[in-house]
Amino acid sequence: MFSLVDELAAGQGRCGCPAHLSLSTVTGHAAAYRALRDGEIDTGRALRAACEIATRSGLPRVYAVDTTAWPRPNAATSPDRQPQYTPGGPRGTALIKTGWRYQHVVRLSLTPDSWVVPVLADRIASDDDLVEVTVDHITRVCAQDGARPADPSLFLLDSGYPAARITHLLRERGIPADVLVRLATSQTMWTRPEHRAAHPLGGRPRRHGFRLTLREPGLPPDAGVSGPVGIYGTVTVRAWHQVHPKLTRASRGFTGQGTLPIVEGSVLLARVQHLRPSRRAGDLALWYSGRRRDLLTLVMTYLARFDIEHYFRYLKSTAQAPDFHPRQPGTLTTWLRLHAYAYLHLFCARTHITHHRLPWEPATTTSPTPGQTRRQVSPALRNAWQPPGHPKPGHPGPGRPAGKRRKRRTRYPIIRKNAVHKGK
């Protein structure tokens, strides 16, 4: 598996699946498939090593969490496939294809480049709760990167994550982590109720105050700040503190509780002066739970969350990881983790190479991209000294015994979302 990581980091051309790596003199043996199928990775030590690399490189403890789909529409013999949203539809819409979904956690650099440090990659199974998996990932990361209650780590999440439930679980378990989640502007928040004297006839006290509609807020903000931001002109940020959503018995994760909790946080609305012509005008709504009070820095930090999309593009376009179509999801999990460790090789080597720009590449003053680093580091890794290993056989294996036929693989149905919720 170490040889696979080196080949993925130093690969030239297409090396997105073990079949392409079989042309190499190092990983040419068929044991690569067996290593991906039966090999084990100590994810705890790998997470600790990734956090140490990021800390030594001076990266802030800011993480982006997001999921990506790996379509397997025609793999009837692959278990646990679900309908997933994948990009590629007309006019930027999404397509629905069956496959697997993976959640990645990367540490951001907050610099004008596309470099990140991947720390975790796990599959979201059909019977997994996305929120529980996310909280578990945040817990594991905070246990390794030195987060403390006085100095928590910051996690950036997209609008597909329920902000209130994640905030509630992190506070309930005492995890030193702040969360910054994008909200849909169609949501409604509520302030704290005003203090009133108890009614003579009794009754339950009020739990909610005034309504705060994110699309058209009618309440004055508690804080606000403006500042220039590059090509977008002036950005204006308004904040409402100590607001909460109104939870119901139908809210997932709160169905078994007697009294629904009040999960308070801050709502930030950001608006820029100039937008690109292709973008629709509107506010960026964010939910924040933490102690940081620099509103403009929070908004600009959240914009760096898009770097995880550059990492997905590297996996799917530059490294050609989707070229590998395993039958079992565990094999793909190992494959993606090896790609993440190969990416860490490139991250460590990015400052030790001489960048040679191709004639058609634009001239930039920033550090080389992961793809450019991979192109430059390839000769160095291929010529590096390697410790001797066991001799490889010089002749092909015996193959399938004569007269033995391959059994028919088990067919698995597509798991629908409603069927999962009903316990089927």
In a domain, 352, yes or no: no
Query: Any alpha helices (H) in 304-365, and if so which ranges?
Result: 307-313, 329-349
CATH number where 240 lies: 3.90.350.10
65 forms beta bridges with: 105, 157
Q: Hey, which bits of 125-233 come out as E strands?
A: 153-157, 177-183, 188-190, 211-213, 223-228
Mean pLDDT lowest among 68-82, 103-117, 242-256, 263-277: 242-256
Question: Structure pTM?
Answer: 0.89
Query: Domain range spanning residue 241?
Result: 42-192+209-250+260-318
116: phi then psi, degrees, rounded to nearest 5: -135, 170
In a domain, 149, yes or no: yes
Q: Give the Cα separation of 358 and 372 in Å (integer).
A: 9
Cβ atoms < 10 Å from Cβ of 22: 13
Would the pLDDT of 261 be above 80? yes
C-alpha of 391 from chain center: 40
In a domain, 135, yes or no: yes
Q: Tens digits of per-residue pLDDT, 348-371? A: 988 887 777 788 777 776 778 888
Taking alpha carbons only, the member of 34, 40, 5 closest to residue 397 is: 34
Cβ atoms < 10 Å from Cβ of 110: 15
Give me the pLDDT at residue 419, please: 44
> Contacts from 275-284 at CB under 8 Å and sequence distance 24+?
275/232, 282/185, 283/185, 283/214, 284/182
Q: Tens digits of per-residue pLDDT, 134-152? A: 999 999 999 999 899 999 9
62: phi then psi, degrees, rounded to nearest 5: -120, 125
352 forms beta bridges with: none
Give me the pLDDT at residue 424, please: 29
Q: What does the DSSP assignment read for 99-145? A: EEEEEEEEEE--SSS--EEEEEEEEE-TT--HHHHHHHHHHHHHHHT
Task: Please count the structural domains in the chain.
Answer: 1
In a domain, 231, yes or no: yes
Taking alpha carbons only, the member of 107, 101, 102, 124 closest to residue 64 is: 107
Mean pLDDT lowest among 131-140, 336-345, 362-371, 392-401: 392-401
In a domain, 362, yes or no: no
In a domain, 124, yes or no: yes
Q: Give the Cα separation of 4 and 26 in Å (integer).
A: 9
In a domain, 102, yes or no: yes
CA distances from 259 to 4, 166, 234, 285, 301 (A): 53, 18, 44, 28, 35
Give me the pLDDT at residue 423, please: 33
Q: Where is pLDDT greater, at 341 or 368?
A: 341
In a domain, 63, yes or no: yes
Q: Give the position of tokens 């937008």.
A: 275
- Rg of the chain taking only CA atoms, in angstroms: 25
Would the pLDDT of 195 be above 90? no
